Amino acid sequence: ETGVTQSPTHLIKTRGQQVTLRCSSQSGHNTVSWYQQALGQGPQFIFQYYREEENGRGNFPPRFSGLQFPNYSSELNVNALELDDSALYLCASSLGQASGANVLTFGAGSRLTVL
């Protein structure tokens, strides 16, 4: 059974650029959630995708967008990058929508630095 894999692991962008981060969910999981973890902070919920549709969104502007594909993999896109977007972006997969029993499995994250 494979876990959650994310790519790229590290990347550097400049302000105003756009970035796409990718996530392959754990085998058998059909729901993907994205979190942003700034240095020294806990992860913050960006949004969740279930059956290829956005299913819940945190307090992030529209320039944060995502996709889920039929194979349940997912992308996070961020447009017009700002310095404060520098963070570790975590993807988590689960079977079904998040609940206590539907445990989230996290990937190792993509570390984005915006200069």
Partner 1 sequence: QKEVEQDPGPLSVPEGAIVSLNCTYSNSAFQYFMWYRQYSRKGPELLMYTYSSGNKEDGRFTAQVDKSSKYISLFIRDSQPSDSATYLCAALNTGFQKLVFGTGTRLLVSP
CB of 70 to partner 1, least distance (A): 21
* CA–CA distance, 107 with 105 (Å, rounded to integer): 7
Token pair in block for residue 49: 């995708």
Torsional class of 96: left (φ above 0), alpha (ψ -120 to 50), beta (otherwise): left
7 versus 41: smaller Cβ distance to partner 1? 41
Q: How far is CA 96 from CA 55, 68, 82, 92, 114, in A?
A: 11, 14, 33, 12, 33
CB of 16 to partner 1, least distance (A): 28
47 versus 85: smaller Cβ distance to partner 1? 47
CB of 38 to partner 1, least distance (A): 10
**Residues of this chain that bind partner 1 (CB under 8 A):** 4, 33, 35, 40-45, 48, 55-56, 58, 90, 92, 97-100, 103-109
Token pair in block for residue 103: 């445990």
2 versus 99: smaller Cβ distance to partner 1? 99
CB of 17 to partner 1, least distance (A): 24
